[in-house]
Amino acid sequence: MSQDPEDLKRAAAQAAAELVADGMRLGLGTGSTVRHLLPAIAARGLRDLRCVATSEATAAQARELGLPVEAFEALDALDLAIDGADQVAPDLWLVKGGGGAHVREKVVAEAAARFVVIVDERKVVPALGAPVPLELLAFGLPATLAAVAPATVRPGAPPSPDGHVIADHHGPVDDPAALAARLDAVAGVVGHGLFAPALVHDVLVARPGGVEHLRAGGPRS
């Protein structure tokens, strides 16, 4: 029997909330799965948490729930970061950025000693595919789009939290490392939504039968 995707997201979020401990410096992702995470963390009643948020939406919800959010200028490392994803491949390459916050999300994931991804089973794919979200400088935008073709500005997308243009790459993702390197080589690309397995420590996949815990062999695990 199929299960409401919101119930599955909530189950993954609940499992991740149990990884949060008193005194942690915690990175909070963005998206509908993270929206279930924040009340689950708040309900734990932990003391001395220090949180950074990857979007204004997450910061606002966290503050409403009484979770202390500070600027990421105030912390130089995080103990744990938890975030959703749009696609999870079997080798734990991810595509993120459906919500346009992927650059901040990657900064937070890189700063965390442990990066935990929370998804429902629909996000687990046999191989990554388009679109791959991009964050681009407005300066020289047509030239940058040509350099990363095929890519288009995402219709109706607001600027990123740092004021950049959100776009999507529509080409194949047969070799995520090669595509990531190609995108990283273009100066007008602020960032992209391909997250390498080395960044990922755990993926919690909610299925109707329970939450599956995938562990990555990243360098910090």
- Of 86, 135, 168, 202, the residue at the interface with ligand 5RP (CB under 6 A) is 86
* Distance from C-alpha of 25 to C-alpha of 23, rounded to nearest angstrom: 7
The CB-of-86 to ligand 5RP minimum distance in angstroms stands at 5
Nearer to ligand 5RP, 161 or 188 (CB): 161
* Distance from C-alpha of 39 to C-alpha of 34, rounded to nearest angstrom: 9
58 binds ligand 5RP (CB under 6 A): no
Distances (CA, A) of 77 to 25, 112, 129: 8, 6, 32
Catalytic-labelled residue, pool 6, 64, 105, 110: 105
Residue 178 has phi, psi (to 5 degrees) of -65, -40
Nearer to ligand 5RP, 79 or 120 (CB): 120
Alpha-carbon torsion, ordered 6, 118, 63, 27, to 10 deg: -170
- Of 10, 96, 106, 192, the residue at the interface with ligand 5RP (CB under 6 A) is 96
- Of 8, 38, 41, 84, the residue at the interface with ligand 5RP (CB under 6 A) is 84
- Of 14, 30, 58, 61, the residue at the interface with ligand 5RP (CB under 6 A) is 30
N-term to C-term CA, the chain: 36
17 binds ligand 5RP (CB under 6 A): no
In this structure, the number of other CB atoms found within 10 A of the CB of residue 6 comes to 13
98 binds ligand 5RP (CB under 6 A): yes
Q: SS3 of 115, please?
A: strand
Positions that interact with ligand 5RP (CB under 6 A): 29-33, 83-86, 96-102, 105
Show which residues are catalytic: 105
